[in-house]
Structure 1
Amino acid sequence: MPETTPIRRHFLASLQAAKAPQQPYRHWLLDRALPLEAASAIVDLPVRPAEIEDTHGKRDSHNESRVFFAGDMMADHAVCRDVAACFQAPETIAALQQATGADLAGNYLRIEYCQDKGGFWLEPHTDIGAKKFTMLVYLSTAPDGANWGTDIYDNEKRHVGRAPAGFDQGLIFVPGNDTWHGFEPRDIRGVRRSIIVNYVIPEWRARHELAYPNQPVQAA
């Protein structure tokens, strides 16, 4: 078995200790999802937040400005390579499958680096179809950042909670027709930083978004 890297070892420990609320759908809440050095290195990436006036409640409304751990980002920045390697590793895939029940083998890793500013919001929606797994790791350093977590809704789209979003906390869920989530409009003073880790189906068309576009993940 390949040597366990510090990022992988740290993440697997966080996953093992995660809380797993069952309502309104099963999800997992992580503390210290990444080692502090890796989380801080992501924050320090030389990527300026895009100037977006209105997302219209959807991330894909401004696809041209989105940033992924792929291509040049992987080539130019060690932290992108190291974090991607953690979530590509068969040991990580096996642990995620065991913890969540998600079927990930044969899918592809997609990591988005988000930097949201004032005016950002997301309508309630579900990640279904092409996305087989979703994890957010919150990386905001602003004083109010802990309140900038993902909003959670029930099947009637009633707001029932909000994920804790302190620095390096995380949220996991397995997309389905009941996994309603979004981001209620609120005052963002500073930058709401996060990474979103997805595993997507082989038919994913935007191959430039994938960390390893020619290497599907496999479990150990």
Structure 2
Amino acid sequence: MENKNIITYAAVCVAIAGLFFSSVSSVSAATLNAEPTKLTVSAGEEARVVVNIIPGVNEREYTAQVELKYPSDLFKFETFSYNNKWVPVIRSVYDEADNGDVSIIKTAGYPGGFTEPEVFGVAIFTAKRSGTGTIIFGNNSFILDAYNNNTLVGATLPSVVSVRAVGPDASGPGYALASIISFGVFSNTITFISVFLFLLILYIIYLAMRPKGKEEDEE
């Protein structure tokens, strides 16, 4: 009976230790995230995605490779700008950006390392058409410490980019007239005054042109 109790206690201790070390490792691991998580642009406009790196607790990171996967039917990759002290690795495999593909890969080192969250860079895409797409981190992403160990264990929710359809041409006279006489939300005070004066003129014209009453006809 005592041996069974000892085995039970030992198993419990091992389980607790396993939970402890797994929680410590998950807390100290590095992560990636993209901002904003939701973005709305019109077809032809730019979509900017900011890539952030969050190092693990008490960890100093030195090198990062980020793979961004995107729907090439909705977006065209334009440029990627590194932030602050990052030194880009401009070599094949480490620096890939082909619009015929569905992903880009950017790699850079951080001299002296960093222990606080850092902006890795900004990726700029152009929306080709209306629709909804998702820009996510690829499996080729990694973050290396001083011993070249990959400390990256995950990434936050993907950056969802919604592309809305472009509205009618606002330069045409028909659209301008519709904007004046519509009863929607007025963008500013000048617009409100213009609409008020327009309606006032219409009312004055109406009063001037309406038929006279029966009493005036009888006289």
TM-score by length of 2: 0.31
Highest relative contact order (Cα 8 Å, sep 6+), 1 or 2? 1
TM-score, reference length from structure 1? 0.31
Tell me which structure has the larger Cα radius of gyration: 2
Q: Which has the higher strand share?
A: 2
